[in-house]
């Protein structure tokens, strides 16, 4: 949830101590090939060796891409400022991270997705301005802008400079009572607080990334604290996302099946007195009686909500859960639009395409599902992973070769990572999908004598959850590329304009430069995020949804 994270691999001790282009690890290549050229391992990021808390193994690293803009001229002091970061798996997210905001996965904060999503990754809004704290010790090396990676390992949040060859982070923030597990960034925050952090204890913080970078200490500074000590919900935060165009609103999902909506300009300490949930299996929304945070509680499902991702326009939110269901809601109207079940097992991640037409999900059935918002059903299954799929994201920067983006036959490029340590790249070309046929009585299974499977008879009704279709009813996709990128299970991936980022559960991140980018890489961090999410969404709409 680019909503999203990215994943990387544990290196040998000698490789871990090397700087720049370190050794790839046993049996790992430093490049992979695609039809458009070779992606090369440019550099790696990780946490300082030997500094991990004993509870490190209890958390999974997610990564958020954060693009810190020029400091506004009207900022009252050096220690209080506004800035933005991108989210998502998703978010990504995305999501920049895939819709989701990645996500969000990958939380959907960051490079692509809503995705965030995202990731994964979804996920770009600001929060209460940090109060001016003039007693903060300044960091003279911080110049006020750049592109950063925010990632969690053990009891700490680390911040690395994306465009630096240095492996070690430039900043660490330690939490004494619980481990950070998810985060999201909003590059367009208007009043300082642009970074969200969710903890294993259920606590949530909003802070200014710039203010953290300017401070040389190892604790959060100028933070707004929500759900303090789990007073509203003491179950683990699973995913967090800014609401696109939400003017400082954000949502947090929890391991007990609930999702809470917050507005950063409201008091975060009140008890909203939500009613008892009568039926854990039914979707319900309750609003706070008083004007305090959280302003609403969405009960999504029985069991954990594993990932959330907003569409780029903020109109829809996708959730995936322990019960194996994708659910897509009209966020403003609080209504279920569509959804359905995995082939088997839990769903772990989700991401939106930038045009809002398709949703990716991945989970314990080792499949990447492609959902169509128009048909409200699964339209393709990606087969290629050998273990659970832990991160998905659309590549919103990729253009099909010889394509002007105007034609009807749009091709979408997306990626997935799994616990099999592999990253897979896929091309989705709807006109090329072979729709399975239903064999006519006594006839041969050909297009001339068969009819389309009943799965394709019509779009699914609005507001219904679909059972898992049978395997023979859904077209299969094969990966364009399958590459083992780490030695440890992966937890997420992000796409930027010049690179693909992968991250592993243990907190190692690899940056793979796109064909041609390695030679022409600019030291100007703005080149990584030169196109804002809003601009991309406008371009996508203008080009008929071309990815």
Q: Is the pLDDT of residue 94 over 50?
A: no
**CB crowding 167-176: b at 16 or more within 10 Å, else e:** bebbbbbbbe
In this structure, what token pair is assigned to residue 339?
């959804």
Spell out the residues 6+ positions from residue 516 whose beta carbon is closer than 8 angstroms to its own: 37
How far apart CA 346 and CA 445 sit, in angstroms, is 33
Q: Is the pLDDT score of 358 beyond 60? A: yes
Strands (E), 186-334: 195-199, 204-207, 224-226, 237-242, 249-254, 258-263, 284-287, 296-299, 305-310, 316-321, 325-330
Rounded alpha-carbon distances, angstroms, from residue 23 to 26, 30, 194, 246, 292: 9, 8, 35, 44, 51
Query: Which spans in 470-524 are helix H?
Result: 517-520
Q: Look at the domain 27-535 and name its fold.
A: Methylamine Dehydrogenase; Chain H (2.130.10)
DSSP bridge partners of 501: 494, 511
Checking if the pLDDT of 444 tops 90, the result is no
Of 30, 34, 25, nearest to 42 (Cα)?
30
Alpha-carbon distances, residue 419 vs 8, 51, 60, 422 (angstroms): 11, 25, 12, 7
Q: Range with the lowest mean pLDDT among 399-408, 496-505, 529-538?
A: 529-538
Neighbour-count burial of 358, counting CB atoms closer than 10 A to its CB (0-12 exposed, 13-18 middle, 19+ buried): buried
Q: Does residue 67 have a pLDDT over 70?
A: yes
Each residue of 243-256: pLDDT tens digit? 999 889 999 999 99
pLDDT at 459: 77
pLDDT digits (tens, 9 = 90+) for 123-152: 323 333 333 333 334 555 555 689 999 999
Six-digit token string for 474: 């859904």
What pLDDT is stored for residue 49 in this prediction?
75
Note the pTM of the prediction, 2 decimals: 0.78
pLDDT of the residue at 190? 81
Neighbours of 17 (CB within 10 A): 11
Report the distance separating Cα 196 and Cα 536, nearest Å.
Answer: 23
Of the chain, the percentage scoring pLDDT greater than 70 comes to 68
The domain ranges of the chain are 27-535
> If we measure between CA atoms, which residue out of 484, 330, 334, 396 comes closest to residue 90?
396
Q: Do 157 and 170 meet the contact criterion of CB atoms below 8 Å apart?
A: no
- The 3-state DSSP class for residue 13 equals helix
The pLDDT of residue 527 is above 50: no
What percent of the chain has pLDDT above 90? 56
pLDDT, tens digit (0-9, with 9 covering 90-100), for 173-216: 999 989 999 999 999 888 789 999 999 999 999 999 999 999 99
pLDDT, averaged across the chain: 77
Q: What is the pLDDT of residue 26?
A: 65
Give the DSSP letter of residue 80. Answer: B
Mean pLDDT confidence for 353-370: 97
* Mean local confidence (pLDDT), 525-540: 43
Q: How confident is the model at residue 365 (pLDDT cuts 50, 70, 90)?
A: very high
Structure tokens, 224: 């707004």
pLDDT of residue 142: 59
pLDDT at 522 exceeding the cut of 60: no
């Amino acid at each position: 949830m680019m909503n999203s994270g990215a994943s990387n691999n544990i290196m040998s001790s000698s490789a871990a101590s090397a700087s720049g282009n370190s050794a790839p690890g046993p049996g790992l290549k430093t490049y992979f090939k695609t039809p458009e050229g070779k992606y090369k391992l440019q550099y790696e990021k990780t946490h300082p060796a030997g500094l991990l808390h004993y509870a490190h193994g209890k958390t999974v690293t997610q990564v958020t891409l954060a693009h810190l803009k020029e400091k506004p001229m009207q900022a009252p002091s050096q220690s209080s400022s506004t800035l933005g970061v991108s989210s998502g798996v998703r978010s990504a997210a995305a999501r920049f991270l895939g819709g989701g905001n990645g996500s969000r996965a990958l939380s959907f904060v960051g490079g692509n997705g809503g995705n965030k999503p995202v990731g994964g990754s979804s996920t770009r809004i600001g929060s209460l301005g940090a109060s001016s704290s003039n007693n903060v010790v300044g960091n003279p090396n911080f110049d006020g802008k750049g592109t950063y990676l925010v990632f969690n390992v053990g009891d700490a949040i680390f911040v690395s400079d994306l465009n630096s060859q240095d492996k070690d982070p430039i900043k660490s923030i330690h939490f004494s009572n619980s481990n950070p597990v998810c985060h999201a960034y909003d590059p367009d925050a208007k009043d300082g607080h642009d970074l969200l952090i969710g903890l294993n204890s259920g606590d949530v913080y909003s802070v200014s990334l710039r203010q953290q970078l300017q401070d040389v200490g190892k604790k959060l500074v100028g933070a707004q604290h929500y759900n303090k000590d789990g007073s509203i919900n003491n179950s683990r935060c699973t995913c967090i996302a800014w609401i696109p165009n939400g003017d400082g609103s954000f949502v947090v999902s929890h391991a007990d099946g609930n999702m809470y909506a917050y507005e950063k300009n409201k008091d975060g300490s009140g008890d909203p007195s939500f009613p008892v949930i009568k039926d854990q299996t039914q979707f319900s929304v309750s609003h706070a009686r008083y004007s305090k945070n959280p302003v609403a509680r969405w009960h999504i499902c029985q069991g954990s909500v594993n990932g959330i991702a907003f569409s780029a326009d903020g109109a829809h939110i996708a959730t995936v859960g322990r019960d194996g269901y994708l659910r897509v809601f009209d966020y403003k109207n609080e209504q279920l639009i569509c959804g359905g079940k995995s082939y088997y097992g839990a769903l772990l991640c989700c991401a939106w395409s930038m045009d809002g037409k398709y949703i990716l999900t991945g989970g314990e059935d080792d499949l990447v599902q492609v959902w169509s918002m128009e048909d409200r059903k699964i339209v393709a299954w990606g087969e290629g992973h050998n273990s659970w799929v832990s991160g998905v994201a659309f590549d919103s920067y990729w253009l099909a070769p010889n394509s002007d983006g105007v034609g009807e036959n749009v091709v979408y490029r997306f990626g997935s990572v799994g616990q099999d340590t592999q990253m897979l790249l896929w091309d989705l070309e709807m006109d090329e999908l072979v729709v399975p046929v239903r064999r006519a009585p006594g006839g041969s299974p050909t297009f001339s004598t068969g009819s389309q499977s009943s799965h394709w008879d019509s779009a699914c009704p609005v507001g219904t959850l679909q059972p898992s279709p049978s395997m023979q009813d859904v077209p299969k996709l094969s990966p364009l590329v399958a590459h083992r990128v780490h030695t440890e299970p992966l937890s997420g991936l992000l796409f930027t304009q010049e690179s693909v980022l992968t991250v592993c559960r243990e907190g190692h991140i690899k940056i793979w430069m796109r064909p041609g980018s390695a030679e022409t890489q600019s030291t100007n961090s703005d080149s990584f995020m030169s196109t804002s999410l809003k601009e991309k969404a406008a371009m996508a709409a203008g080009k008929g949804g071309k990815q």
